[in-house]
A and B are shown apart, each in its own frame.
Chain A
């Protein structure tokens, strides 16, 4: 069964600085998708970024980018120029074609002003 591990229960970053959230996963599949979701206190699950496993190029969305290392099964999220609004719980998720997302345990990100 696929598993997703987020080893950092909590991270802090100074406003305007850069922070990286870690995610590793375990799978025997070759085709799959990886996602980062943000959950602010409002509870809403917001898609931040997604990566297709067969693409070598790392995905980027404005201040958010990923470092996808397929061989190492690693999928970290980098947030540049951190803003107060980035404070939230971040979930890494895997989908291997089984119509279901497998989530990591989440990382709480705190942004200090």
Chain B
């Protein structure tokens, strides 16, 4: 059973296109996240949702819009894709008591913009 699943795993698209990445968790967690890993492997948080409510919105271009239809799903929509958006995007989830149970990450979506 996959705990945090992301689709697609790979995404190749042209500049200017709009694309979405989907994330679902079956752990009963109430908080979900999007992290970006750039070409130098540096990981940084983008967004966090708790029970469908946005709680963290780091300095991210407005072209990125997260949507959480329910607490088990968190999608990431990206408009007008640019070359610099090429990265691996990780979805993660946690309980409120994340310090005891930690975070669970998905396997990532490698986005390549050409």
Q: Which residues does A use to contact B, with CB under 8 Å?
A: 33, 35, 37, 39, 42-45, 47, 50, 52, 89, 91, 95, 98-103, 105-106
Q: Contacts A43-B88, A100-B33, A105-B41; is A95 near B107 (CB within 8 Å)? A: no
How close is B20's CB to chain A, nearest CB, in angstroms? 20
5 A-B pairs closest in CB distance: A45-B105, A103-B43, A100-B45, A43-B108, A33-B99
Closest residue of chain B to A99 (Cβ to Cβ) is B48
Q: Which residues does B use to contact A, with CB under 8 Å?
A: 31, 33, 35, 40-45, 48, 50, 55-56, 58, 88, 90, 92, 98-99, 102-103, 105, 107-108, 110
Contact between chains at B40 and A105 (CB < 8 Å): yes
Contact between chains at A106 and B88 (CB < 8 Å): no
Q: Which residues of A contact B55 (CB under 8 A)?
A: 99
A110–B98 Cα gap in the complex (Å)? Answer: 30
Q: Which one of A33, A44, A102 contacts B105 once the chains associate, using CB atoms below 8 Å?
A: A44
A105–B48 Cα gap in the complex (Å)? Answer: 21
Contact between chains at A101 and B103 (CB < 8 Å): yes
Q: Contacts A89-B41, A103-B42; is A45 near B33 (CB within 8 Å)? A: no
Q: Which residues of B contact A35 (CB under 8 A)?
A: 102-103
Contact between chains at B90 and A45 (CB < 8 Å): yes
Q: Which residues of B contact A100 (CB under 8 A)?
A: 33, 45, 48, 56, 58
Closest residue of chain B to A43 (Cβ to Cβ) is B108
Q: Which residues of A contact B35 (CB under 8 A)?
A: 101
Q: Which one of B43, B50, B99, B105 contacts A95 once the chains associate, using CB atoms below 8 Å?
A: B99
How close is A39's CB to chain B, nearest CB, in angstroms? 8
Q: Which residues of B contact A98 (CB under 8 A)?
A: 56
